[in-house]
């Protein structure tokens, strides 16, 4: 197996993605349909909340009220992020780590970068 290239665009195969996805963009190995549906529903609700925020700003609503709604949107996004991270660890990361030392090392690097970005 070829040694993975270390860069911001680490080779897809090193990241636990399906090999056939290399040419089409990265794809998750597995996502429970119930989780996917729940995430899509959450994202649709968030989309509606953001439109509501736009209206509030356009109407010149009280800043504190807007901030409360912003907080709700941020928490909803964090929930989606946690579910996506859980799935990534359960499927993509586990497969990469079990497959080979090279892919495991690339996955460790990816996870460190993800945790760093996600914790901002």
**CATH assignment of the domain containing 19:** 1.20.58.1000
Per residue in 30-46, pLDDT (tens digit) is 778 888 999 999 999 99
Does 2 reside within a domain?
A: no
Does 4 reside within a domain?
A: no
Domain count across the chain? 1
Q: Is the full-model pTM beyond 0.85? A: no
Q: How far is CA 99 from the centre of its chain?
A: 22
Q: Among residues 26, 22, 35, 32, which one has the least CA distance to residue 81?
A: 35
Does 83 reside within a domain?
A: yes
Does 52 reside within a domain?
A: yes
- Domain limits at 27? 12-118
Q: What is the pLDDT of residue 17?
A: 54
| DSSP code at position 68 | H
CA angle in degrees (0–180, nearest 5) for 92-96-97 = 115
Does 6 reside within a domain?
A: no
């Amino acid at each position: 197996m070829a040694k993975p290239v270390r860069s911001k665009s680490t080779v897809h195969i090193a990241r636990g993605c399906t090999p056939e996805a290399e040419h089409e963009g990265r794809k998750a190995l597995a996502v429970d349909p119930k989780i996917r549906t729940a995430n899509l529903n959450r994202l649709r609700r968030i989309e509606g909340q953001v439109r509501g925020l736009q209206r509030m700003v356009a109407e010149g609503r009280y800043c504190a009220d807007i901030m409360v709604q912003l907080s709700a949107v941020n928490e909803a996004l964090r929930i989606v992020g946690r579910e996506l991270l859980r799935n990534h660890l359960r499927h993509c990361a586990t497969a990469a780590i079990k497959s080979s030392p090279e892919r495991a090392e690339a996955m460790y690097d990816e996870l460190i970068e993800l945790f760093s970005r996600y914790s901002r």
